[in-house]
Structure 1
Amino acid sequence: MVAVLAGFSLGFSLILAIGAQNAFVLRQGLRREHVFPIVLTCALSDALLIAAGVAGFGALARAVPWLEPVMRYGGAAFLFVYGGRAFLAAWRGGETMEAGQAAGSLRAALLTCLALTWLNPHVYLDTVVLLGAVSAQYDDRLGFALGAMTASFVFFFSLGYGARLLAPLFARPVAWRLLDLLVGAVMWGIAAKLALGG
């Protein structure tokens, strides 16, 4: 259960940062267009990448013992920078979410979603590299992976279907600042835990 909760927490905190994919899902949710296929595509894509990272990294870490600490400290450094960027965004402020133009057809929406997911290098860093590296610290790697996958499903379905409720909130820059502060704090907390070997 510890591994499941750790996987869920880390997976959720990594996916929480607003990027192109999340903004697209939010816009689709605000417009109520193709929400189910979009959120399912995002969540299943994450699940495949997480599985690849946990399975592949676990085997690789056993074959090359020095790789796990290198990846752990590299992951801590990555999270420290990621958190710093979130704090910088919170300090600068001025962000708002507008519904914008969403794709009209399901095919166009799915192609956009797949491109934002599979062509984004940060997705690989988060799922395959970082989650894979952290999973090596747990005997229950399957539980860790299931926790991270569950976080993706919970996040994307909540974002897609909860977008209408968030529309008035994210029209205000202060909401983005608070979100960025939260993301930065979580990232730095995880970075410190990784760096200290906890």
Structure 2
Amino acid sequence: MGAALAGFTLGLSLILAIGAQNAFVLRQGLRRAHVLPVVLTCALSDAVLIAAGVAGFGALSEAAPGLPVLMRWGGAAFLIVYGALAFRSAWRGAETLTAAGPGTQSRAQAVLTCLALTWLNPHVYLDTVVLVGSVAATQESRLAFGGGAVTASFVFFFALGYGARALAPAFARPGTWRALDALVGGLMWLIAAGLILGG
């Protein structure tokens, strides 16, 4: 249970970071356009990447006993830097997000756009494969940790896509984005501290 919760927390903190993929999902939700295919594409893509990271790093950790220690410190360093970037974004302020945009896409166009924003983003490999995989290697149950991270992806994308209409007034204000960035930074630093102290 502890590993699953740790995976859920890490997965959620990473996915909360504002980026092109989340902005696209939120816009689709604001327009109520092809929400189910879009959120499923995002969540299933994350599941594949997380599974690859957890499985790959698990095999490597068995072959190299010292790897989990290296991964623990590497993951902590990555989280510290990522958290600092989130705090910097909170300090500077982020742009607002509105429903304004080009005409409605077809279902196929929306899914292809979502796939491109997911799989062509180099950060997704650092987050889901490298970071989640490296932290999973330090857990007692890698399977539970990976399951928690996958669950976080499904919960987040479905909440974002279908909750967009309710969030629209709040996210029209830059202050909401700044608060979200600050929350992301705090969660990342908290997890980094747990990795360091847990070593």
TM-score by length of 1: 0.95
User: How many Å apart are 1:95 and its aligned residue?
Assistant: 2.2
Q: Give 1:160's aligned residue.
A: 161
1:124-165, CA deviations, whole angstroms, 9 ceiling, x for partnerless residues? 111111111111122221111111111000000000000001
Cα separation, 1, equivalents of 2:122 and 2:39: 20
Cα separation, 1, equivalents of 2:51 and 2:106: 30
Equivalent positions of 1:168-179 (< 5 A) are 168-179=169-180
Cα separation, 2, equivalents of 1:113 and 1:172: 25
Confirm whether residue 142 of structure 1 aligns to residue 143 of structure 2.
yes
- Does the C-alpha gap of structure 1 residues 146 and 94 become closer, same or farther in structure 2, counting only changes over 3 Å? closer
Q: Percent identity between the aligned chains?
A: 72
| Unaligned runs of at least 5 residues, structure 1 | none
Are the aligned partners of 2:3 and 2:145 in contact in 1 as well (CA < 8 Å)? yes
Cα separation, 2, equivalents of 1:24 and 1:71: 32
Confirm whether residue 11 of structure 1 aligns to residue 17 of structure 2.
no
The one-letter amino acid paired with 1:142 is L
User: How many Å apart are 1:76 and its aligned residue?
Assistant: 1.2
Cα separation, 2, equivalents of 1:74 and 1:166: 35
Q: Give 1:67's aligned residue.
A: 67
1:73-118, CA deviations, whole angstroms, 9 ceiling, x for partnerless residues? 1211111111111111111115211223255111111111001111
1:33-82, CA deviations, whole angstroms, 9 ceiling, x for partnerless residues? 00000000100000011111111100111112232222221211111111
Q: Give 2:21's aligned residue.
A: 21
Are the aligned partners of 2:71 and 2:137 in contact in 1 as well (CA < 8 Å)? no
Question: What's the C-alpha RMSD, in Å, of the aligned pairs?
Answer: 1.3
Cα separation, 1, equivalents of 2:122 and 2:143: 24
Alignment: residue pair count? 198
Q: Which moved more, 1:91-100 or 1:38-47?
A: 91-100
TM-score by length of 2: 0.95
The one-letter amino acid paired with 1:138 is Q
- Does the C-alpha gap of structure 1 residues 98 and 55 become closer, same or farther in structure 2, counting only changes over 3 Å? same
- Does the C-alpha gap of structure 1 residues 27 and 2 become closer, same or farther in structure 2, counting only changes over 3 Å? same
Cα separation, 2, equivalents of 1:117 and 1:188: 25
Cα separation, 2, equivalents of 1:69 and 1:126: 19
Confirm whether residue 106 of structure 1 aligns to residue 104 of structure 2.
no
Cα separation, 2, equivalents of 1:66 and 1:143: 22
Q: Give 1:120's aligned residue.
A: 121
2:139 alignment partner, SS class: coil
